[in-house]
């Protein structure tokens, strides 16, 4: 179990990691008998100002490496055999670096045979014999075959544990990519890029054919690239690694610390806040971030106000297809000093195979992780699950963004959740109450089930996907559709249409009067454009009906939904219209929008304090399947290099004039009954659940007495439940 007793879990974690990283190279340097000898093979300048400035590289990097302890030699020509004899690492940054005469090839072969390292940057991979040169450095450019593209590009780390790229996230920079290169199959790719969604192209790699090490970076077109902190660190590490030294030999402590948030990459939480355009009556606070949470997908709270979070760094893959052990987590987060920031972290359970949601139940949590709905229970009170019960099984997962998810306790004591088109394979559901009995088929739609594994049924059917549902205080059920309609109301349960459906009658009604969204910015790269329902909702998620009790009444019953593909949270006002509702936008500007591409809100919940909590997947990639037709994997996820596994955020959005709300519930039955009349939805719903799980029917006399003395609508509704 990971449980930090300190008041600053984040700081303790990162300081510890930093000390390990800094101490490592220090010991390595002390243990090296001789400094690393580096030869910089540059060449004449080509191209325009600030481009392919090989002589400047020779001057600048000679000085840089010497300051870091290397012995440096170099020239604008290929080194002599005598110079090679005094070299540990040969660094190429010159046009046509692979064009060597027979004598130079012989000298290079002898140098490599004795274990000399080689590094090639940018146009140094070009030459007059690509098939030969790829056997030297692992990959090479062939004139008339290979291609380039210049502009804003992403470098996406493919090997997170390699010494050269360890601790460095994906980042963007202005430079050039090469593609259609000739690569040796023994090449170990460290980072990719893509110029179209169809072509993932290696940009950083290592190559170890036997006696020596080679490292290649395709970037380096612009002189300014050599000053980019993360790219510079990668090259410095590549040189040290090629020389069989500790990869961090040439890096300083401040540089190591800065690798976590490089320019063009993820933004530190404190700075990310500056990218938000938020409704003027509200304020935001980041309450948890990486490494405390990675790819958070669902949240709930226990009676003491502790935050329970499901994290899915395994998304979008399943263990059976990748061979990687399932490692999704359920965390318990606590704020020990009352500053609003989570600083204690307990791993309640680790090893879920693509978890999609959780709700609190008795001594643990119920989670969805297709094909199963599981109850993870702590039987001895140590905040760690020690018993796993399969409540239901048989759910489809052919497409892992179309599975069971988004659970909510309903006012009727059932748990409600959603299922997308993977429901086509959910044809034989079995429950824990009687595993020998089939509960039948549960197709696409909203469903509800008993927490004891005894009953499950479809509530409302639909096509496509939905990733959110919520209830109003009086029990009206709303949900969000991923594509097109971002708000629907369940008018009647599906069972009332069974065998009586006429034409295209549905159990739900599309209630929105608008389709367009207004993001704070647009990233014009093809990899980050909306694919379907452009300009509107193509990944609507995280339905929330505001009834938290802390905000002014003008926000009561407002409907909120995330749109992660365009980095925003949308707000609608719900008004009655006959037996159903209408959802209208109160202003053109979005409730919350970000200029940070990485901001990917996927889930919303009202917390004990009445605030809205936004789960931010914090990722460049916000797409599962891609209808444009690139390669897809076995879970129907598009193959992309930019799926991040290092980051995640949880944001608290609160009104500037919010009422104070109790963050914990009373321990006794009478206190819980009184809480049913609270103005806060979390308080009411949690008290109802605790009464049902605890005293149960024994509380009925006290409930009846309270009902006779109360005129609270909330008290009446939750007492009847």
Q: For residues 29 and 69, give the distance between their C-alpha atoms in angstroms, rounded to a whole number.
A: 9
Tokens 């009676």 belong to which residue?
303
- pLDDT of 718: 64
Q: For residues 350 and 242, give the distance between their C-alpha atoms in angstroms, rounded to a whole number.
A: 37
Q: For residues 438 and 447, give the distance between their C-alpha atoms in angstroms, rounded to a whole number.
A: 16
Per-residue tokens: 523: 């990233």
Cα 347–Cα 350–Cα 351 angle in degrees, nearest 5: 175
Please write the tens of the pLDDT for every residue from 372-417. 999 999 999 999 999 999 999 999 999 999 999 999 999 999 999 9
Question: Hey, what domains does the chain have and what are their CATH numbers?
Answer: 35-258 (3.40.50.880), 269-655 (2.120.10.30), 669-720 (no CATH)
- pLDDT of 721: 60
Q: For residues 436 and 409, give the distance between their C-alpha atoms in angstroms, rounded to a whole number.
A: 27
DSSP tag of 565: G
| Dihedral-angle region of residue 328 (phi above 0 means left; psi in -120 to 50 means alpha; beta otherwise) | beta
- pLDDT of 189: 98
Q: Is 691 helix (H, G, I), strand (E, B) or coil?
A: helix
- pLDDT of 18: 44
Q: Which residues of the chain have pLDDT under 50?
A: 1-7, 11-12, 14-32
Q: For residues 471 and 615, give the distance between their C-alpha atoms in angstroms, rounded to a whole number.
A: 19
Q: For residues 204 and 238, give the distance between their C-alpha atoms in angstroms, rounded to a whole number.
A: 10
Q: For residues 412 and 416, give the distance between their C-alpha atoms in angstroms, rounded to a whole number.
A: 10
């Amino acid at each position: 179990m990971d449980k930090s007793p300190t008041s600053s879990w984040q700081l303790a974690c990162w300081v510890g990691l930093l000390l390990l990283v800094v101490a490592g190279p220090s010991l390595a340097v002390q243990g090296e008998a001789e400094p690393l000898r580096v030869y910089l093979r540059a060449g004449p300048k080509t191209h325009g100002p600030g481009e392919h400035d090989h002589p400047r590289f020779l001057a600048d990097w000679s000085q840089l490496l010497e300051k870091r302890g290397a012995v440096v030699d170099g020239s604008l020509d290929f080194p002599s055999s005598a110079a090679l004899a005094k070299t540990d690492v040969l660094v190429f940054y010159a046009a046509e670096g692979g064009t060597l005469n027979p004598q130079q090839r012989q000298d290079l072969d002898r140098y490599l045979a004795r274990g000399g390292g080689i590094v090639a940057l940018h146009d140094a991979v070009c030459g007059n014999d690509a098939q030969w040169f790829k056997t030297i450095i692992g990959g090479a450019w062939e004139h008339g075959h290979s291609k380039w593209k210049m502009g804003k590009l992403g470098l996406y780390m493919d090997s997170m544990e390699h010494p050269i790229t360890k601790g460095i996230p994906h980042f963007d920079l202005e430079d050039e990519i090469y593609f259609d290169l000739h690569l040796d199959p023994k090449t170990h790719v460290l980072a990719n890029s893509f110029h179209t969604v169809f072509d993932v192209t290696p940009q950083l790699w290592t190559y170890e054919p036997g006696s020596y090490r080679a490292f290649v970076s395709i970037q380096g077109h612009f002189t300014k690239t050599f000053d980019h902190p993360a790219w510079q660190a990668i090259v410095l590490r590549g040189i040290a690694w090629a020389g069989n030294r500790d990869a961090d030999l040439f890096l300083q402590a401040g540089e190591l610390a800065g690798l976590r948030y490089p320019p063009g990459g993820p933004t530190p939480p404190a700075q990310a806040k500056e990218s938000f355009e938020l409704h003027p009556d509200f304020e935001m606070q980041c309450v948890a971030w990486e490494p405390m949470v990675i790819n958070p997908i669902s949240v709930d709270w226990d009676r003491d106000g502790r935050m329970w979070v499901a994290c899915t760094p395994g998304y979008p893959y399943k263990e059976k297809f990748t061979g990687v052990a399932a490692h999704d987590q359920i965390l318990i987060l606590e704020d020990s000093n009352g500053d609003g920031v989570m600083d204690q972290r307990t791993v309640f359970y680790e090893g879920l195979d693509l978890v999609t949601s959780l709700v609190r139940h008795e001594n643990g949590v119920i989670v969805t992780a297709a094909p199963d709905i599981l109850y993870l229970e702590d039987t001895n009170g140590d905040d760690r699950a020690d018993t796993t019960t399969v409540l239901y099984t048989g759910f489809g997962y052919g497409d892992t963004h179309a599975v069971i998810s988004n659970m909510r306790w309903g006012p009727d004591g059932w748990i409600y959740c959603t299922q997308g088109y993977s429901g086509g394979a959910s044809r034989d559901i079995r429950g824990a109450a009687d595993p020998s009995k089939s509960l039948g088929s549960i197709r696409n739609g909203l469903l509800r089930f008993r927490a004891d594994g005894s009953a499950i049924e479809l509530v409302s059917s639909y096509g496509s996907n939905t990733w959110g549902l919520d209830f109003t205080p009086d029990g009206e059920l709303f949900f969000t559709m991923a594509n097109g309609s971002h708000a629907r109301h369940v008018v009647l349960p599906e069972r009332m249409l069974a065998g009586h459906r006429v034409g295209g009658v549905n159990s739900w009604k599309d209630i929105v009067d608008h389709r367009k969204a207004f993001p704070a910015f647009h990233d014009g790269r093809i990899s980050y454009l909306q694919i379907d329902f452009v300009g509107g909702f193509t990944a609507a998620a995280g339905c929330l009906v505001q009834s938290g009790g802390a905000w002014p009444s003008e926000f009561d019953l407002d409907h909120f939904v995330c749109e992660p593909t365009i980095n925003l949270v949308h707000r609608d006002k719900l008004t009655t219209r006959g037996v159903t509702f209408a959802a209208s936008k109160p202003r053109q500007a979005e409730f919350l929008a970000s200029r940070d591409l990485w901001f990917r809100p996927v889930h919303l919940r009202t917390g004990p304090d009445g605030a809205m909590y936004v789960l931010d997947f914090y990722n460049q990639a916000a797409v599962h399947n891609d209808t444009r037709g690139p390669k897809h994997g076995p879970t129907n996820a598009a193959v992309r290099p930019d799926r991040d596994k290092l980051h995640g955020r949880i944001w608290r959005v609160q009104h500037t004039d919010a009422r104070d709300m109790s963050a914990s519930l009373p321990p006794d039955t009478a206190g819980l009954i009184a809480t049913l009349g609270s103005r806060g939805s979390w308080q009411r719903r949690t008290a109802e659940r605790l009464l049902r799980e605890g005293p149960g029917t024994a509380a009925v006399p006290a409930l009846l007495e309270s009902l006779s003395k109360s005129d609270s609508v909330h008290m009446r509704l939750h007492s009847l439940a």
